[in-house]
Amino acid sequence: MSKIEEVAKLVEIGKAKLVGKAVQEALDEGCDPQEILNKGMIDAMAVVGEKFKNNEIFVPEMLVAARAMKKGVEVLKPHLASGATGVKGKLIIATVAGDLHDIGKNLVAMMIESAGFEVIDLGVDVSNDKIIECYRENPDTKIIALSALLTTTMPALRDAVDALNKSDFRSNIKVMVGGAPITQEFADEIGADGYSEDAASAATLANQLIG
Ligand code: B1M
What is the atom index within ligand 1 of the atom nearest the CA of 104? 72
Of 62, 92, 186, 205, the one to substitute when testing ligand 1's pocket (max ligand atoms within 8 A of C-beta) is 62
| pLDDT of res. 141 | 98
What is the atom index within ligand 1 of the atom nearest the CA of 48? 53
Q: Is the CB of 196 under 6 A from ligand 1?
A: yes
Q: For the purposes of burial, counting CB atoms within 10 Å of the CB of 177, is it exposed (0-12), middle (13-18) or buried (19 or more)?
A: buried
Of 61, 101, 152, the one to substitute when testing ligand 1's pocket (max ligand atoms within 8 A of C-beta) is 101
Q: Is the CB of 52 under 6 A from ligand 1?
A: yes
Expressed in angstroms and rounded, the spacing between residue 154 Cα and the centre of ligand 1 is 13
Q: What is the pLDDT along the chain (211 residues), one digit of tens a residue?
A: 899 999 999 999 999 999 999 999 999 999 999 999 999 999 999 999 999 999 999 999 999 999 999 999 999 999 987 767 778 999 999 999 999 999 999 999 999 998 899 999 999 999 999 999 999 999 999 999 999 999 999 999 999 999 999 999 999 999 999 999 999 999 999 999 999 999 989 999 999 999 8
ipTM of the complex: 0.99
Closest protein CA for atom 46 of ligand 1: 101
| pLDDT of res. 193 | 98
* Cβ(141)–Cβ(112) below 8 Å: no
Expressed in angstroms and rounded, the spacing between residue 87 Cα and the centre of ligand 1 is 31
Q: Is the CB of 4 under 6 A from ligand 1?
A: no
Q: Is the CB of 147 under 6 A from ligand 1?
A: yes
Q: Is the CB of 144 under 6 A from ligand 1?
A: no
| pLDDT of res. 36 | 97
Q: For the purposes of burial, counting CB atoms within 10 Å of the CB of 105, is it exposed (0-12), middle (13-18) or buried (19 or more)?
A: buried
Angle CA 158–37–32, to nearest 5: 140
From residue 60, how far is each of 3, 13, 19, 99, 150 by CA, in Å? 26, 11, 18, 17, 18
